[in-house]
Structure 1
Amino acid sequence: MENTKILIADDDKKTRDFVAAFLSYKGYQVFQASDGQDALEKIEINDVNLVITDLMMPRVNGIEFIKKLKAMRPEIVTIAYSAFANSEMTANLLKAGAFFYLEKPFNLEELETHVRRGLEHHSLQNQSFRSKPCIKNRTLLNNIIGESDKMLALFELIEKVASSDSTVLLQGESGTGKELVARAIHDLSNRRQKNFVPVNCAAIPDELLESELFGHVKGSFTGAIATRIGRFEMADKGTLFLDEIGDMKPSLQVKLLRVLQNRELEPVGSTTTKKVDVRIIAATNQNLEKMVATKEFREDLYYRISVIPIILPPLRERQGDIPLLISSFLERFSNSKYQKVRGIDSSALNLLRNYDWPGNVRELENLIERMVILKGSGTISANDLPEKYRGRKATTPQESITLPDNGFCLNSAVEEFENQLILQALEKTSGNKKEAAILLNLKRTTLIEKLKKKKLSIPGSSMTI
């Protein structure tokens, strides 16, 4: 633990010192920051594993701080706390990338529990950020498209967990491809010759889900006209994928826990038990730790299914994969819909790269399918995109520049134009120099040299780059 570095960001020095003293006593190396901006500056020059932050801070508030931190150092795990957060703020906080949220006042031992889990997650989930992943079975991962650092790390993690029989919990926003990842884990496992059985726990009525999972005997309830095996037995020696497990009612969570513990089930209406050998992969877009805290999800079941947690990155955090995804979807839908759309122009591509994608890959896939059908042939342009994807219309040089009668300094104008473009790129990427360099088609080192020479400041920030 002496090599584990934790940063605490809080404008309340008393709270900050109190938490720092406790974690230092527990053996962690602790840094302190007085607010979000101070924290970002310290993280620039220190190797930090985990950040604990208050939400209400001056200059850069907690949610904005987490967004900028994820853009700058996505491998760092973040735990947030506040005495004033509501459900909407909590949702935004988790969407921004926080690992867990605590309400003040909180118990320090409880905090350390989440710190340990966060560091375990950091070690497993992000060990590939610092080295180039070696992916041996890429051909079996072809349905999952991506070449960004986050996706390469995900591919390597899939390979590592596939060979074990440990239970996996896939967490991520809707549309990030959780079932594709579950199938990839199954296809790479020793169980690949047996069934992969998916169950959407949110799509099946509560009164039918128990029978769907465990089966039933004839006459056990109205409509049970024959004995039927459940999804667990269908997946025997194979893999059962429990999608949206956070929607499962508490009474059924108890029965699921018993199956996971004893590896045996009891069909509805039966007095005998059956042995099953099933690997469980669960998935959810909800924060199960928060649901555990509010007693909506059983704590013992949560720890049983989250032996290996994997967080799937949202599309907005891997913008470099968008051209690959678009190319794949264009080819697929042009062929399946018998259309002749063969590409997308640079203006439309740039708009889609900079869109926020709340629906993630699924939203992009649906958009390209719609565009292929409506366009029919040729190349998709910016004008073909629905209004919400187009955003603000770009001005042409003729529209934005007027030459004064007495002339002006061309070098100064070019310098100012370059400065504005650099600042816009940094604003779009929340200060991430690597992503900004990609938008500007520059090398990262070239951009950094320009920033040092020009001494530019990001709008809304007091930090000079």
Structure 2
Amino acid sequence: MTEMQKTVLIVDDEPGHRLMVRAVLEDAGWHVTEADRGDAALEELAAMAGEDCNPADCPPDVALVDMKMPGMDGLELLREINIRRPGLPVILLTAFGSVGSAVEAMKKGAFDYLTKPADNEELKAVLDKAHEYHRLIRENTRLRKHADGMVDFIGASPGVERVRDLINQAGPSEATVLILGESGTGKELVAEGLHRASLRASRPLIKVNCAALPDELLESELFGYVKGAFTGAVKDKPGRFQLADGGTLFLDEIGEMPAALQAKLLRALQEKTIEPLGGVQPVQTDVRIIAATNRNLRAEVEAGRFREDLYYRLAVLEISIPPLRDRKEDLPLLVSFLLGRLGEKNRKAVRTVTPPFLEALSRYDWPGNVRELENVLERALILARSDALGPDLLPPMITGAAAPAPDMEQPQHQSPASLEEAEKLAIIRALEENGGHRERTADALGVSRRTLQYKLKKFGLTRRG
């Protein structure tokens, strides 16, 4: 078995069905292992992991589990797999009449479900999707290992890879760096990465938020002051430049710095000296400057609000961070990483998220970027009462619906009926606009084909299209 080979564990008490599925998947390049009972499947998982295998890295990539089996049924096996192999996607096989149970299982952490006998092309497509999900889980595990206890810039999209490459290239240099990006994209994380990659990593990284301090306070914070410089200055106080000596000074929200201070900062960069407030002797400094802003500094220069010479001093190298809406393929990695960190913070572990939860996240544009995502996940984590996060834990701005609070009963005469009717009308309208084509309708609604099929059956719309 090669390192990149896809591996699936089939758990089904029907030998004939196992044989048929094995033939289809082996023909598609999968390595197949089998078990005829739930307890045998758990033994197989333990044997495949071995003693030295990290559960996130060892096979299988996907488990294909029959719902109805003697002894341990599919739901019980799903629960055990979530405990013993968190992150392993489980796809349930169910008879047509048990679809409701399969949907319930998805709320408990199943990746997806298929009705028996499954269409061969749909079977391969769902397994490939689950394999990609598991690959992202493994990649995230490796990223967390390499973070050395510090927050890493998480993602595998081309935009994130470019940021990482620039950090690796610019980190060891002495060049000033200007980090550009919207609020919440992770500019401070990039600054930390640049410092860790530099020859100054053993020296301090000092941070200043230029927008958080009044102008007169910002000057004294940056450059310090001497005793008697103003009323209340009873002793000398070193500024952030002096505290960062030999290390890195990170100036966040540099676009908010007033014009008078811009001139003083430019002189500090040019001459590598500072003048504390009230001082008469310049102080030599050895500091690398990293600045960040969510403003368009070129436009600020043209408008006369930012010094052109300072801009070019700061922007020896620019690193532009893509907003989350432009790298939604990173959402599974980010969700996994952030939930791990938030779980430790709140002493509450959630082992998995449901596909509808991820689908809802991917439909939202995230104006607050990763910071907003982290807030949404923390809310969901705190409200969760089961092992898996579902879309009912997301705020209405994410789901696009006035959803009830999770796990709270609604009066029978209020919103549920009207919400269901609105949902039914939305599906009918989408079907009509897409000529009854179900795949296009699912795409237009932002749901999976499986979710659409379930809704069509629920609302009695199966004759359409």
Calculate the TM-score normalised by the size of structure 1.
0.57
Aligned to 1:54: none
**Corresponding residue SS for 2:222:** helix
In structure 1, the residue matched to 2:67 is none
Which residue type is aligned with residue 300 of structure 2? M
How many angstroms apart in 2 are the aligned matches of 1:276 and 1:399? 64
Query: What corresponds to 1:418 in structure 2?
Result: 439
1:140-289 matched pairs, under 5 angstroms: 143-289=152-298
Q: Distance in 2 between matches of 1:333 and 1:139?
A: 16
One-letter amino acid of the counterpart of residue 156, structure 2: E
- Relative to structure 1, is the Cα distance of residues 335 and 318 closer, same or farther in structure 2, using a 3 angstrom cutoff? same
The answer as to 2:383 corresponding to 1:362 is no
- Superposition deviation, residue 237 in structure 1: 1.1
CA distance in 1, matches of 2:359, 2:224: 51
Distance 1:165 1:251 in 2: 26
2:354 is matched with 345
Which amino acid is the alignment partner of residue 272 of structure 1? Answer: Q
SS in 1 for 2:291: strand
Distance in 2 between the 1:399 and 1:293 partners?
A: 48
Q: Establish whether residue 305 from structure 1 lines up as the match of residue 325 from structure 2.
A: no
User: Is the aligned partner of 1:323 residue 2:332?
Assistant: yes
1:323 is displaced (CA, Å) by 1.1
Name the CA distance, whole Å, in 2 between partners of 1:286 and 1:154.
Answer: 18
Q: Which SS does the other structure have where 1:146 is aligned?
A: coil
Residues 194 and 237, structure 1, Cα contact 8 Å, conserved in 2: yes
Contact 2:226–2:237, Cα closer than 8 Å, also in 1: yes
- Aligned twin of 2:344: 335
Matched residues in 1 for 2:191 and 2:426: separation? 51
Query: Counterparts of 1:48-197 in structure 2 under 5 Å?
Result: 139=147, 143-197=152-206
The gaps in structure 2 that reach 5 residues or longer are 1-142, 402-418, 451-465
Asked if the contact 2:340/2:349 (under 8 Å) is kept, the reply is: no
Alignment partners' CA distance in 2, 1:300 and 1:398: 59
Q: Secondary structure at the match of 1:341?
A: coil
Partner of 1:391: 400
Moved more, 373-382 or 167-176: 373-382
Q: Is the 8 A contact 1:341 1:376 kept in 2?
A: no
Aligned mates of 1:224, 1:374 — CA distance in 2: 49
CA contact (8 A) 1:237 1:277 kept: yes
Using the alignment, how far apart are the partners of 1:401 and 1:228 within structure 2?
Answer: 70
Instruction: Tell whether the 8 Å contact from 1:177 to 1:361 is kept in structure 2 after alignment.
Output: yes
Deviation at 1:160, TM superposition (A): 0.3
Moved more, 341-350 or 230-239: 341-350
Give the 3 Å change call, closer, same or farther, for CA 398–243 of structure 1 in structure 2: closer
CA distance in 1, matches of 2:399, 2:369: 17
Whole-angstrom distance in 1 between the partners of 2:265 and 2:389: 49
Cα shift at 1:417: 2.2
Deviation digits for residues 143-165 of structure 1 (CA, Å, limit 9, x no counterpart)? 21111111111111110001110
SS in 1 for 2:335: helix
Aligned residue pair count: 284
Contact 2:438 2:449 in 1 (8 A): no
Q: For the residues of structure 2 that align with 1:203 and 1:399, how far apart are their CA atoms? A: 46
Deviation, 1:309, is 0.7
1:138 Cα offset (Å): 5.6
* Matched residue type, 2:185: T
Alpha-carbon deviation of 1:341?
2.5
**Where does residue 375 of structure 1 map in the other structure?**
384
CA distance in 2 between partners of 1:396 and 1:249 (Å): 52
Secondary structure at the counterpart of residue 290 of structure 2: strand
Within 1, Cα distance between the matches of 2:208 and 2:259? 17
Larger Rg: 2
Q: 1:210 to 1:376 in 2, by over 3 A?
A: farther
Shift of 1:373: 1.3
Q: By how many angstroms is 1:440 displaced? A: 8.5
Q: CA deviation at 1:385?
A: 1.0
| Aligned-partner Cα distance in 2 for 1:366–1:150 | 23
Contact 1:340 1:376 in 2 (8 A): no
**One-letter code of the match for 1:295?**
G
- Runs of 4+ in structure 1 over 6 Å off: 393-399
1:139 Cα deviation after fit: 4.5
- How far has the Cα of 1:381 moved from its partner? 1.0
Counterpart mapping for 1:421-440 below 5 A: 421=442, 424=444
2:300 corresponds in structure 1 to 291
Q: For residue 212 of structure 1, report the CA deviation from its aligned partner.
A: 0.5
Match of 2:323 among 314, 331, 346: 314
Look up the SS of the partner of 1:268 in the other structure. coil
Give 1:219's aligned amino acid.
Answer: G
Q: Percent identity, aligned pairs only?
A: 46
Preserved CA contact (<8 Å) 1:340 1:377: no
* Contact 2:273-2:283 within 8 A present in 1 as well: yes
Distance 1:232 1:182 in 2: 16
Distance 1:219 1:375, change over 3 A: same
Is the 8 Å Cα contact of residues 168 and 305 (structure 1) preserved in structure 2?
yes
